[in-house]
Amino acid sequence: MTAPLRTAAELHALAPATARRAVVMTMGALHEGHATLIRTARTLVGPGGQVVVTVFVNPLQFGAGEDLDRYPRTLEADLKTAVGAGADAVFAPPVEEVYPGGEPQVRISAGPMGELLEGASRPGHFDGMLTVVAKLLHLTRPDVALFGQKDAQQLALIRRMTRDLNFPVEIVGVPTVREPDGLALSSRNRYLSTEERHTALVLSRALFAARDRLAAQQALRARAESAPAPTARAAALSALGEARAAADAHAVAAAQPGGCADAVRAAARAVLEDAAKTTPPLVLDYLALVDPADFTEVPDAHIGEAIMALAGRVGATRLIDNIHLTFGAAS
């Protein structure tokens, strides 16, 4: 492959895969996160399958004042990255090929989930995203489509759309790829100055603080379940003046099944509040601990899967991140 495909006719003229076809949809400016998606796609379809990477900066999902014109276009480098990771073809159509009659009058609605979090911050974003994903699924005709878990709400909505509208495609989520210091890979990271990047690290640190707090709470619960009469032990240690041991015993005694989602939220928020005082500051958009099924906030007593998601702005750059958590898991 020496050049990208530019039209639907060129895409449809590709030799059919002898096994399955996978598609990886991107807006270009490919990085290691995208390369991981492509390599995973190659593994899923095997050597006889076909991996198609799409590169299209979709104007429908950019709102007023967002960075459509500023968004990086690096098609030549993208082609090399895609081929190096195992792609068979890159489909990089112009806007006129995807929307030949101008902006479409009929679009996919993201529904109630699309109005939360990212949808509340960027009205109409998810309608535009789902519309182009639906079009690209029709154009590329894959058996499987891969998306990164970093865009967790996007992934959830794509899964919901394909299920609700009976798209004959398997949707696979691929874990977030991070820099060694924890920053989630993003095409927008290139906009950050050295100082801004240092501040941006607080996003992953807040998520990791939440994860660590959950692990600590669940370890306390495990000890409480196995410790005989923890309340009596705490009282005895207090009477002996063993302050540190008594405090630990009281914590164990107070541990109850469920009831730590608020503590996990508080651990992340404490990190983010400190970052708001740095130079340059992190301006928090949202921090949420949500049910993966509908992205509504989970109650304090939640048991099961959850996603902690956050978004913030450092300078002129807006970044998102998330982490999957399991409440009620064994320590």
Which residues are catalytic, by number? 34
Q: Which is nearest to 322 in space by CA: 211, 180, 232?
A: 211
Strand partners of residue 173:
147
φ, ψ dihedrals at 326, nearest 5°: -125, 115
DSSP secondary structure letter of residue 191: G
Residue 209: CB partners within 8 Å, gap ≥ 6?
267, 268, 270, 271
Taking the C-alpha atoms of residue 56 and residue 294, their distance in angstroms, rounded to an integer, is 27
Taking the C-alpha atoms of residue 28 and residue 73, their distance in angstroms, rounded to an integer, is 6
Taking the C-alpha atoms of residue 200 and residue 305, their distance in angstroms, rounded to an integer, is 26
Report the interhelical angle of 125-140 vs 152-164 (nearest 10°). Answer: 60
Q: Residue 261: helix, strand or coil by DSSP?
A: helix
Taken as a whole, the chain contains a residue count of 331
